[in-house]
């Protein structure tokens, strides 16, 4: 869960005052800067200096637009927002941690000079608006639980936050300081996600999302509370494991008698292998490389089961359940499509989920691997291994699992 940084009461009061008034700059103060062509020395006065060897320029310094939003020594979400915006505008390379220290002060003063604002080291609402308008990056939010973020939105220029969410997550995003603002959530295609209840969105696809805060009329600094609650992955009737497959409590372990496993599978499915629905019986076939082992395989409703047969050097060896592969649901005996969670791991991972789902479920228990044709992630425990395949290319966070198997294929 992300650490929540509490706002001092004075900072919250300053933000509340600014949100109520939220005007522009209060007015300019004129000054004259004179640079000597001979000496290169710059002086300031209230009158223009003329002469053959000097030039004169007039600049305007913008006065503070109300009380400061943050001062050195603060530690809160407002400072985090300024740190992000200062980095985005090239005024610093700050750690966005909400702590207003010397490095943040230096960046604030540099930004005030660059924006022709009064250099006092205390950023205000007008400075936040200026920095927000010139930053095209979306601010990244990480983790689960409650996050409080501050931003500034203006007409035709929403404040945008990006966040990666897992399928089954509930997202609640509420403006807790600011009036007249609207919040929308969009997916990577730019399609708006439907709001379920007030300020609540249910996420059904694992991917990146954008949270946009819009202001219809005025530039406004706001506070947004974001609450991310990750859902529990659904599990299927078939539970895939490194050493077995379990159907509604009945465990079919690798090494079990082949015919018993086949009979149970057909009983569970309510039918045997048939020509319809892309199901077939592979029959017997030999493997001559690297070992001359007899194998029998059946494929039915997204599963492929492989059984050791008699070994030519040991004809009396019993047939046993050797390994399994799951490539996704097809159709049942009545021609109806199986659900997406027809077969899952105990943690709810199935074909069609993503690497992000897999990593969320297993963390560093899964490790990347590949052969000459496939990329996969391997899960190993005391019972054996499971491999989650992603196709020929190295997967990214949202690459789909195309197959789950009880072994990792090597070259």
Question: What does the pLDDT look like over 282-315, one tens digit per residue?
Answer: 554 444 444 445 667 788 888 988 888 766 667 7
Query: Do 276 and 290 meet the contact criterion of CB atoms below 8 Å apart?
Result: no
User: Helices 77-88 and 125-133 sit at what angle, rounded to 10 degrees?
Assistant: 40
Label residues 136-166 b or e (16+ Cβ within 10 Å = b). eebbebeeeeebbbbbbbbeebbbbbebbbb
Q: What residues contact residue 391 under an 8 Å CB cut-off, 6+ apart?
A: 374, 375, 399, 402
Given this model, what pLDDT does residue 2 score? 32
Question: What does the pLDDT look like over 119-176, one tens digit per residue?
Answer: 999 999 999 999 999 999 999 999 889 999 999 999 999 999 999 999 889 999 999 9
Tell me the three state secondary structure of residue 159: strand
Query: Do 329 and 339 meet the contact criterion of CB atoms below 8 Å apart?
Result: yes
For residues 326 and 31, the model is more confident at: 326
Domains identified in the chain and CATH numbers: 29-62 (no CATH), 142-229 (2.60.120.380), 238-405 (2.60.460)
The pTM assigned to this predicted structure is 0.69
Given this model, what pLDDT does residue 159 score? 97
14, with CB counted inside 10 A (0-12, 13-18, 19+), is: buried
CA dist 144 and 226 (Å) reads 9
Question: What does the pLDDT look like over 227-259, one tens digit per residue?
Answer: 999 888 889 999 999 999 999 999 999 999 988
């Amino acid at each position: 869960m992300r650490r929540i940084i509490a706002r001092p009461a004075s900072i919250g009061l300053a933000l509340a005052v600014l949100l109520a008034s939220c005007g522009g700059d209060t007015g300019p103060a004129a000054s004259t800067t004179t640079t000597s062509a001979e000496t290169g020395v710059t002086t300031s006065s209230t009158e223009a200096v003329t002469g053959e060897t000097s030039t004169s320029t007039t600049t305007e310094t913008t006065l503070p637009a109300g009380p400061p939003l943050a001062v050195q020594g603060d530690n809160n979400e407002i400072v985090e927002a300024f740190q992000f915006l200062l980095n985005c505008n090239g005024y610093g390379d700050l750690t966005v941690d909400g702590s207003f220290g010397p490095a943040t002060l230096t960046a604030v003063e540099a930004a005030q000079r660059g924006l022709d604002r009064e250099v006092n080291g205390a950023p205000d609402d007008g400075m936040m608006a200026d920095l927000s308008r010139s930053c095209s990056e979306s601010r990244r939010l990480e983790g689960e639980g409650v996050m409080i973020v501050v931003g500034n939105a203006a007409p035709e220029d929403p404040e945008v936050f990006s966040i990666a969410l897992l399928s089954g997550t509930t997202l609640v995003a509420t403006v807790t300081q600011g009036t007249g603002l609207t919040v929308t959530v969009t997916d990577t295609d730019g399609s708006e996600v439907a709001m379920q209840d007030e300020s609540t969105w249910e996420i059904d696809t694992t991917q990146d999302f954008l949270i946009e805060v819009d202001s219809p009329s005025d530039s406004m600094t706001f506070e947004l509370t974001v609450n991310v609650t990750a859902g529990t992955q659904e599990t299927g009737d078939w539970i895939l494991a490194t050493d077995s497959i379990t159907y509604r409590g009945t465990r079919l372990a690798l090494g079990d008698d082949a015919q018993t496993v086949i009979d149970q599978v057909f009983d569970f499915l309510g039918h045997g292998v048939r020509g319809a629905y892309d199901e077939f019986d592979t029959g017997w076939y030999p493997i001559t490389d690297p070992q001359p082992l007899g194998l029998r395989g059946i494929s039915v409703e997204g599963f492929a089961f492989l059984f050791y047969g008699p070994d030519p050097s040991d004809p009396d060896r019993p047939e046993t359940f050797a390994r399994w592969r799951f490539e996704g649901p097809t159709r049942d005996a009545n021609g109806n499509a199986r659900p997406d969670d027809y077969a899952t791991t105990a943690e709810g991972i199935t074909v069609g989920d993503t690497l992000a789902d897999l990593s969320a479920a297993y963390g560093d228990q899964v490790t990347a691997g590949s052969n000459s044709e496939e990329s996969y992630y391997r899960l190993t425990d005391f019972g054996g291994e499971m491999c989650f395949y992603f196709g020929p290319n190295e997967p990214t966070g949202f690459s789909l699992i195309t197959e789950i198997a009880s072994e990792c294929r090597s070259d």
